[in-house]
Amino acid sequence: MLGVVQARVAGEAIDVGQPRQRSVLAALLVDVNQVVPIDELVDRVWGEQPPTRAKHALYSHLSRLRHVVTPAGAALTRQAGGYLLTADPASVDLHLFRELCARSRAGGHQLDAVDQALALWRGRASEGLDTPWFSEVARRLDQERVAAELHRNDLLLRLGLHADRFADLDATATAYPLDERAAGQVLLAWYRRGRQADALAHYRVIHARLAEELGTEPGPPLRELHRRILAGDPLLVSDRPVPRQLPAVAPHFVGRAAELAELDRHDTPLVVIVGTGGAGKTALALRWAHDNADRFPDGQMYADLRGFDPTSEPVSPEIVVRGFLEALGVPVHSVPSGVEEAGALFRSVLADRRALVVLDNAADAAQVLPLLPGGAHCLTLVTSRDRMCSLVAKQGADHLGVGVLTEPESVALLGERLGRGRVDAEPDAVTELVARSARLPLALSVVAARAAVNRSFSLRALADELRDEHERLDVLDAMLDVRAVFSCSYRVLSPDAGRLFRLLGRHPGVDVDVHAAASTAGLPVARVRVLLAELTRQHLVEERAPHRYGTHDLLRAYAVELASACDTEEVLTAARFRLVDHYLHAGYHAERRLSPHWPPLTLPAPGDGVVAREITSYDKAMGWFTVEHTAVLAVLGDAVRHGWDAHAWQLPWVLTSYLHRQGRWREKSAALRTALEAAERLGDQDALAATHHLLGRTATALGERADALDHLNHALALHRARGDEVGQAVVRFSLASEYEQRHDLRRAMTHARWALGLHIRTGNRTWQGFALTALGWYSTCLGDHTQALAYCHEAARCMDDRDGLAHSFQIMGCAYHQLGDHAESVTHHGKAITLFRTLGDQYREAGGLVLVGDAHRAAGEEPSARAAWTRALAILKRLGHNDSASIRERLDQVPVAAP
């Protein structure tokens, strides 16, 4: 179409018939893959005065063309209302021309694409076809060709190729002598070649031509260009190499697929990549920059701003911007002094260009702002340990956080450096190396380098070398100054933030909330929020969940090392006591929400500087324990080591309800044995009685019959000696449970009745309900199901406690089951399960599901029974319990229903 209409197969021309038949083909090619109505075809081919039998002639041409286009991979078919020529658009030069031009403009201004597009032309479009419609098509295509040539010439000027391909620019200006844009391109080319006189002469020629032929003067853009050439404007000079400043990418870059994909999706001209020292921010930025360099044909600039260099101050933005301008070809004497003026010139130079700017290791937003290009087609990547919040808020920057590698990525990095064979041969050692390196790319690279240099060393030996937390940094420093990497962030902290960082290094949990951090520092919560924000900005801690902060193991080791060097033992011990005291009081508040019916402890007021966090609901208490129970268990060890025995027995006490409802009886038992030792050291009778009681209840749950009875009897004796009727009553209740587990139901009933009487005497309605519930259970176990229901209905009237009501409903469900009312049984078990679920008591929820399944099976509803038992089994598996054999037996006895 871009010349005489013809068809080629494998480069060889084929006969498309006489001129009118060629017109039919061309009329279809213009709208390839679209139906062209018959009347429209007639108008295109014959114009306004077609012959009488035009349609008959058209059908003949179309019939012959079917045989012509088939060898070229096309198809011509009759459709409703017209004809359709189906072909690959890229096989038609007209459509390929347009696609290449679009690609050149959209894909980084590719010069080769527009060169290919213009090379398709062989003369005037649809040459020889002269109907009005073809003349209009040719006119539009000629305009597109001119636009493509002008675009190509802009690219030649932008890429500094105006000298090598001056003939192309001159040919366009000659072909279109009144086109001011083409004239301006030639003027600029002459000027950039150092031939100012020729440029001015050419301007005089175009000026005279416009006046003579059109009676006008050049427009404002051409007049402005003429003025700047007269003035010798340095910004017009671009006869310079396109800067290609990117450093080499890391040779063993692995992983980061998610982060690279996020960079691909950026929709702003500014992206900040933030993370802790050694996380691989620079490697990520350079990997993406190299992969996408062709999108920025006007240059890729790079500067290390040294914002966290331990040996020097951050680089001045003025020095960086002057370097960028020189790289862009601006003469040194033309760069103004002052960072604001130089920054303005930098933005002007890049205003209409596609360039990439990588600002590495930025200290803060103030260092970055003067270095941002103003062009809409430029992209700036900033890496920093600072969170750069102001760039996100005020400049609309995209924010990409870079954490440590995943475990598979860490293993892959070692495999890249050491070879898969060596890594696969010692998988356990590799797992430990990854863990000891905190999955930090810098540390992993140091480990890999040490292993590569010492190939005779086993990976197990290297892993053992990193095992000691205090020696780990020394080992890594042997190859690279890891401490210096961390110190760059630490040394810019305020004194209070530095102190908080050091103290948090000794926190035993995975992460810490604001209240525990405030207690550790002995500062108000509001102040600590500010300090944590400062630490987060420097990536010495990360906010892993709202108001919860943590750090990786190497930074933790660095903090501990700093604390040992900077803080006295008295300071560190006081901080540790405040943390232990915080967990005791916060845990006590949470326990009171879980089990308000248990007799309370009497705690002294929190120590100075301790934040006593209030926990206001059952759900919040469960959430707090879920996150913090491991930290509470850890600080229990600190309490023992420092001789804080009151805390050492009270911390297990506050954990018991949570651990019991989670079925964590072994953890509960171990903590309570620690509590008992502390209580014995104190000689505190209240502490001994409470701890023996809790140990006895835990032994009952674990099936440790002798220990259970021994601890419970010991607790009962201590309460008797002190005349504590409330204490005696709750121990009697627990003794009843133990005897029930021993299948001694008569003795269980005796203790339950004794407990009921004591609770009636002390006026505790909730505990009366618990005792009545126990009597209901023992009654149904003895076969007196009607009496069981009576006890449980009375218990429900006594209590507003969800735990107690859940047990009452469960026992009612069992009684109804035994009475043959399976529908009521399912209903009451369902009520109990709902309450256990809201309490987070997963073990009892599973037990309730087993009983529901039994009721369904008794009613002949075997699919419902299987469903309930399957859910129970899944919960027990999740809890890691082994007492699921009876459920499997039930499932084996009920066949799976046929589909």
Among residues 403, 634, 646, 649, the alpha carbon closest in space to that of 507 is found at: 634
What is the model's pLDDT at position 486?
Answer: 66
Query: Residue 327 is encoded by which pair of tokens?
Result: 């790289």
Residue 856's pLDDT is what? 93
- Topology (CATH) of 766-899: 1.25.40
- Written as one letter, the residue type at 248 is A
Structure tokens at 257: 């697929």
Measured in whole angstroms, how far is the alpha carbon of residue 838 from the centre of its chain? 31
Name the amino acid, one letter, at 696: G
The DSSP secondary-structure symbol of 75 reads: E
Nearest partner of 321 among 299, 336, 300, judged by Cα: 336
Helices (H), ranges, 338-406: 339-349, 365-368, 389-395
The b/e string for 828-855 (b: 16+ C-beta within 10 A; e otherwise) is bbbbbbebbeebbbbbbbbbbbbbbbbb
pLDDT on residue 306: 79
Quickly name the fold that domain 495-556 has.
Arc Repressor Mutant, subunit A (1.10.10)
Residue 76 near residue 28 (C-beta atoms within 8 A): yes
pLDDT block averages, 10 residues each, the chain of length 899: 86 83 91 91 88 86 86 85 90 91 72 89 87 90 92 82 84 90 90 85 91 89 89 67 78 78 86 81 88 85 80 78 83 76 86 87 88 86 84 83 78 76 80 74 69 71 66 51 61 89 84 92 94 83 81 73 87 94 95 91 92 88 89 90 95 93 86 96 96 95 92 96 94 95 93 94 91 93 93 88 89 94 93 91 90 92 90 84 76 66
Distance of alpha carbon 184 from alpha carbon 179, whole angstroms: 9
Give φ, ψ of 870 to 5 degrees: -65, -40
Which CATH architecture best describes the domain 257-401?
3-Layer(aba) Sandwich (3.40)
Residue of 298, 325, 300 whose CA lies nearest to 156: 298
Helix (H, G, I), strand (E, B) or coil at 26: helix
In terms of Cα–Cα distance, which of 303, 415, 424 is closest to 361?
Answer: 303
Per the CB < 8 A criterion, the answer to whether 578 and 607 are in contact is: yes
Neighbours of 623 (CB within 10 A): 14
- Residue 49, pLDDT score: 82
Nearest CA to 761 among 793, 785, 792, 725?
725
Query: Which tokens go with 121?
Result: 């032309």
**Quick one: pLDDT at residue 592?**
93
For residues 276 and 88, the answer to whether their CB atoms sit within 8 Å is no
pLDDT of residue 812: 95
3-state per-residue secondary structure call for 628-693: HHHHHHHHHHHHHHCCCHHHHHHHHHHHHHHHHHCCCHHHHHHHHHHHHHHHHHHCCHHHHHHHHH
Q: What is the dihedral of CA 558, 561, 562, 563, to 10 degrees?
A: 120
Grouping H, G, I as helix, E, B as strand and the rest as coil, residue 622 is: helix
Assigned token pair, 618? 């059952």
Evaluate whether 733 touches 767 at the Cβ level (below 8 Å).
yes
Give the distance between the most distant pair of CA atoms in the chain: 126
Place of tokens 């440790």: 704
Q: Tell me if 285 sits within 8 A of 279, measured CB to CB.
A: no
72 Cβ partners below 8 Å, 6+ apart? 7, 8, 9, 14, 87, 91
Please provide the CATH number assigned to the domain covering 684-763.
1.25.40.10
For residue 54, is it left (φ>0), alpha (ψ between -120 and 50) or beta?
alpha
Fold designation for 1-159 = Arc Repressor Mutant, subunit A (1.10.10)
Predicted pLDDT of residue 386: 79
Compute the Cα dihedral for 454, 458, 463, 465 and give only its sign. Answer: negative
Q: Which H or E run contains 813?
A: helix 802-818
pLDDT at 480: 44
For the whole prediction, is pTM greater than 0.75?
Answer: no
